[in-house]
Chain A
Amino acid sequence: MKLRRLLLAALLGLAAPLPATAASPAAALPGDSAYRLADTYTDQAGRGFQLAEGRGRVRLVAMFYTSCRFVCPLIIDSAKGVEHALAPAERARLGVLLVSLDPARDDVAALRSVFDKRRLDPARWTLARTEAAGVRKLAAVLGVRYRALADGEFNHTSALVLLDRDGRVLARTEKLGSVPDPAFVAAVKAALAAK
């Protein structure tokens, strides 16, 4: 486990100095795509990835952190609520990506623990972390404002953001809870139906 983390750190360390604008595959992305962010992320299984790899799938994206007791569990509930409002065939095609606001404490083990505890489906769900600079950039693209508090908690706007297959923001909602925002669900269904 320790070794794996070391390896991971080494890999991330290698990846970091690459210019954020390494051209190639991003070239074909629309200019308003969140997938223009080229930071490296790590998921709950320790796998490294870039946002643009999610291209081709409609996704819900939100930001959270694992030690948060109140609103963050609600963010997971809200994404599940959206899933439940969909037909099974729709649900299977929707990805859910939650990115930690707290990279200092949310390592792969912490993400994994929440992932398992909440019985999330790895075919659809990803819990991920990236380094602090990447967190701030993603938050900026998603319109999430946050501030670290003295006690280690965070103040943050809680939003579910809907990205189309090219990573463009289609809709967002700050109405959280297991009963989803109907307008937002309609946007999700429309995005899934679009070819």
Chain B
Amino acid sequence: MRAAWLALALLATPGLAAGAGWARLPGGEFSSVLRYEDTGGKVKVAPFELQRLPVTNAEFLAFVRRQPDWQRGKAPEVFAEPRYLKHWQGPTTLGPTALPEQPVTNVSWFAAQAYCEAQGARLPTWSEWEYAAAADETRADARADPAWRERILAWYSMPSNRPLATVGQGPADLHGVRDLHGLVWEWVEDYSAMLVSADNRDQGDPDNLKFCGAGALSMDDRENYAVLMRVAMLSALQAEDTTANLGFRCARDLPGKTP
């Protein structure tokens, strides 16, 4: 019943139904919490589109129905560990512990990537995600505001064993995107690249010759714990991993621009 009301509410929101759930973000030069030697912490984010809401159980169910190879029990373990979609009642049944409008979780990076590809989209890059997540209701970059930081940090102090809220309950930000904070962690396309540093690039010692090129990394903004926790968590993952509060949303380049 609640889900039905929510669906109605979403339909009534201008732009949501017609825009098929995508928000357009202008991008621009952005100051990342990740300060690489080569970028000085400045990254250029090209204009892109981001899904206004995290992908839900219902949406992911429709995907695995269309592509049975991604159903639990069929997806090869190289792409999804055994806990993949384990909270669903069955491979094509959500059941009581996976409400249709809750964000889908227990999905691997490969599965998230496949879902987005099936929508003609992709996962957002970390820079895109971080840029989008810097906004609040009125500002494109609210990060310097201590009140913003506190509000976001409050989520991290909540116990994670409670059932997830349904999507869309968070406030829409300046761009019309919701739930970037406060609901689930989200996969990004280059999750594995963030902590790639050149600290142990030593031409003299073959054991340490692990990295090509240059570009040491430091955390630029030690106050921004909420985002740093994301970086640490994502960097610790393998692409086949799944967790109970890790979901995703898709991004895409602007129409007419080749990917």
Query: Is A140 in contact with B69, judged by CB distance below 8 angstroms?
Result: no
- In the complex, the answer to whether B212 meets A70 with C-beta atoms within 8 Å is yes
**Contact assessment for A71 and B212 in the assembled complex, using a CB-CB cutoff below 8 Å:** yes
Instruction: List the one stretch of B17-25, B91-99, B106-114, B146-154 in contact with chain A.
Output: B106-114
The answer to whether B210 touches A158 (Cβ under 8 A) is: yes
Chain A residues 64 to 79 lying within 8 A of chain B, measured CB to CB, are 65, 68, 70-72, 74
Which listed residue, B69, B196, B203, touches A157 by the CB 8 Å rule?
B196
Whether, in the assembled complex, B6 has its beta carbon less than 8 Å from a beta carbon of chain A, the answer is no
Which residues of B sit under 8 angstroms from A30, Cβ to Cβ? 76
**A190 contacts chain B at the CB level, 8 A cutoff:** no
Q: Which residues of B contact A70 (CB under 8 A)?
A: 203, 212
Complex interface: chain A residues within 8 A of B215 (CB): 147, 149-150, 155
Complex alpha-carbon distance, A33 and B16, angstroms: 41
Q: Give chain B nearest CB distance to A70 CB in angstroms.
A: 6
CB <8 Å contact, A140 and B192: yes
User: Which residues on B sit within 8 Å (CB–CB) of A175?
Assistant: 206-207
Does chain B have a CB within 8 A of A145? yes
Judge whether B160 is part of the interface by a CB distance below 8 angstroms: no
Q: Is the CB of B196 within 8 A of A146?
A: yes
Docked pose: A157 CA to B235 CA in angstroms: 14
Kindly identify, within residues 27 to 49 of chain A, every residue whose CB is under 8 Å from any CB belonging to chain B. 29-34, 36
Q: Shortest CB–CB separation between residue A176 and chain B, in angstroms?
A: 5
Collect the chain A residues with CB atoms within 8 Å of residue B76's CB.
29-33, 36
Give the residue of A19, A68, A71, A137 whose beta carbon is less than 8 angstroms from that of B209. Answer: A71
- B33 → chain A, closest Cβ, in Å? 15
* CB of B118, distance to nearest CB on chain A (Å): 8
Q: Would you call B197 and A155 a contact (CB within 8 A)? A: yes
Q: Which chain B residues (169-202) contact chain A, with CB distance < 8 Å?
A: 189-190, 192-198
Q: Does A141 contact B (CB under 8 A)?
A: yes
A-B contact pairs, 6 of them (CB 8 A): A21-B114, A136-B190, A147-B215, A150-B215, A154-B213, A174-B210
A-to-B contact residues, CB < 8 Å: 19-21, 23, 29-34, 36, 65, 68, 70-72, 74, 132-133, 136-137, 139-141, 143, 145-147, 149-151, 153-158, 174-177
